[in-house]
């Protein structure tokens, strides 16, 4: 492995860790002495910090942070404690890198800093969704067995009866996606899916700290952070709430099944098209959390990507087109192959014998528009 100075971080080496594993292999991240944390990192040389980042690469911390396969409250709590310490260390490293003007002139400094910031954001995501806070307790839902389930955080809602409705809706939506997932021949992912409920769409917007750039007025129905962390608002409408949950559970099932790196490589249209197809939900998910990397494999950005209703309809139509034209068997094989390889190109070529994706997109769009017109004509005749 070439050790280029301040570059080459977080190359996609997909590794599935054993269930309920701890962060024991990441002890090098923990503060030697919390009271002198920043001094500890200020004393590091460039070579030592470079070695530290390479350790992150070797240990594949990203996969472990984003896709923890935990299935007991004890392991969840232990992970939260470890994550808090790691988050503290990452904050100290960021402070060190930013406070030394000499380091900012080093080649690849920006990529290094961005990668560490992204790591810190991922540790904070786990803490926000899994750690018990004074006004939010973690509840557990096990629809089938304790091998998989939901770790749920619900705030105080305006109406006490809403809490029971929220819990029931989450359980029903989870069970619905499990059935559909199995119809695709896929195994239900192990470990908790973390769901954090917000009292309103406005509070979810505040949490995201960014408004949708779309011109559509539809509010955010939910968002899934890599790989198994779902944020969803409760606005009092059970049907909309359940549809939004099924959409986000689909994202979580895809992400946790194939892992952090493969889910990054699959295009947005595939993620959103499948989620909309399985949930039959449209129009409330205008934002997608997206992480990107540069040509060297550095994790360089994490953004909220805007989508429109029209795009969701088009993405869903591509899956409908495959099912209608190629049949159920190839439809299922297309989904499975895309998940196995982490690329749609392989699935198109090997399953559907399609070598021009742009041409396929145009054909699917034309087919969808024709069927929409037929549906309108039938409705008018009736």
DSSP string, 166-222: HHHHHHHHHHHHHHHHHHTT-PPPPEEEEEEEESSHHHHHHHHT----SS--PPP--
Which is nearest to 252 in space by CA: 227, 284, 223? 227
Scanning the chain, the segments in alpha helix (DSSP H) are 37-42, 46-59, 61-66, 73-99, 109-130, 160-183, 201-208, 238-258, 260-265, 268-279, 309-326, 328-341, 344-352, 357-381
Task: Output 297 or 159, whichever has higher pLDDT.
Answer: 159
Distance CA 262, CA 266 (A): 7
Determine contact, residues 302/348, Cβ cutoff 8 Å.
no
Q: For the chain, what are the domain ranges?
A: 24-130, 138-257+284-307
* Rounded mean pLDDT, 360-364: 96
Question: Considering only 109-113, 121-125, 207-211, 285-289, which range has the smallest mean pLDDT?
Answer: 285-289
Distance CA 304, CA 282 (A): 18
CB atoms near residue 99 (< 10 Å): 12
**pTM for the structure as a whole:** 0.82
Strands 191-198 and 229-233: parallel
Q: What value, to the nearest 5°, has the Cα angle with vertex 103 and ends 99 and 107?
A: 145
Helices 238-258 and 268-279 pack at an angle, to 10 degrees, of 130
Q: What value, to the nearest 5°, has the Cα angle with vertex 147 and ends 143 and 85?
A: 115
Report percent pLDDT > 70 for the chain. Answer: 72
Q: Which fold has domain 138-257+284-307?
A: Glutaredoxin (3.40.30)
Determine contact, residues 199/231, Cβ cutoff 8 Å.
no
* Rounded mean pLDDT, 260-264: 87
Which is nearest to 84 in space by CA: 124, 24, 116? 124
Task: Output 323 or 298, whichever has higher pLDDT.
Answer: 323
Report percent pLDDT > 90 for the chain. Answer: 36
């Amino acid at each position: 492995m070439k050790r280029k100075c301040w570059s080459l971080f977080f190359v996609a080496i997909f590794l599935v860790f054993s269930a309920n594993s701890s962060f024991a292999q990441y002890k090098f991240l923990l503060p030697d002495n919390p009271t002198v944390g920043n001094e500890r990192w200020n004393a590091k040389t460039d070579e030592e910090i470079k070695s530290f980042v390479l350790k992150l690469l070797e240990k594949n911390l990203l996969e472990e942070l984003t896709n923890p396969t935990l299935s007991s409250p004890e392991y969840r709590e232990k992970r939260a404690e470890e994550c808090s310490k790691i988050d503290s260390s990452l904050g100290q490293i960021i402070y060190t890198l930013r406070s030394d003007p000499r380091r900012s002139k080093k080649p690849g400094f920006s990529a290094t800093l961005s990668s560490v910031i992204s790591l810190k954001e991922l540790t904070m995501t786990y803490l926000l969704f899994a750690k018990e806070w004074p006004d939010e307790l973690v509840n557990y839902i096990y629809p089938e067995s304790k091998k998989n389930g939901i770790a749920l955080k619900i705030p105080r809602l305006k109406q006490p009866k809403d809490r029971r409705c929220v819990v029931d809706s989450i359980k029903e939506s989870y069970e619905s996606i499990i059935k559909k997932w199995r119809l695709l021949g896929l195994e239900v992912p192990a470990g908790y899916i973390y769901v954090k409920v917000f009292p309103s769409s406005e509070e979810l917007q505040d949490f995201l700290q960014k408004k949708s750039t779309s011109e559509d007025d539809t509010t955010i129905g939910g968002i899934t952070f890599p790989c198994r962390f779902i944020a969803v608002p409760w606005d009092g409408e059970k049907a909309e709430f359940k549809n939004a949950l099924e959409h986000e559970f689909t994202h979580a099932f895809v992400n946790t099944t194939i892992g952090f790196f493969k889910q990054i490589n699959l295009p947005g249209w595939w993620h959103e098209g499948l989620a909309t197809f399985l949930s039959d939900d449209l129009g409330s998910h205008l934002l997608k959390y997206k992480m990107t990397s540069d040509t060297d494999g550095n994790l360089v950005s994490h953004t909220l990507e805007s989508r429109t209703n029209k795009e969701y309809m088009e993405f869903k139509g591509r899956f409908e087109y495959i099912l209608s034209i190629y049949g159920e068997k190839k439809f299922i094989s297309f989904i499975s192959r895309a998940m196995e390889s982490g690329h749609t190109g392989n699935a198109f070529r090997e399953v559907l014998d399609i070598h021009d994706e742009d041409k396929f997109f145009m054909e699917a769009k034309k087919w969808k528009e024709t069927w929409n017109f037929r549906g309108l004509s039938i409705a008018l005749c009736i």
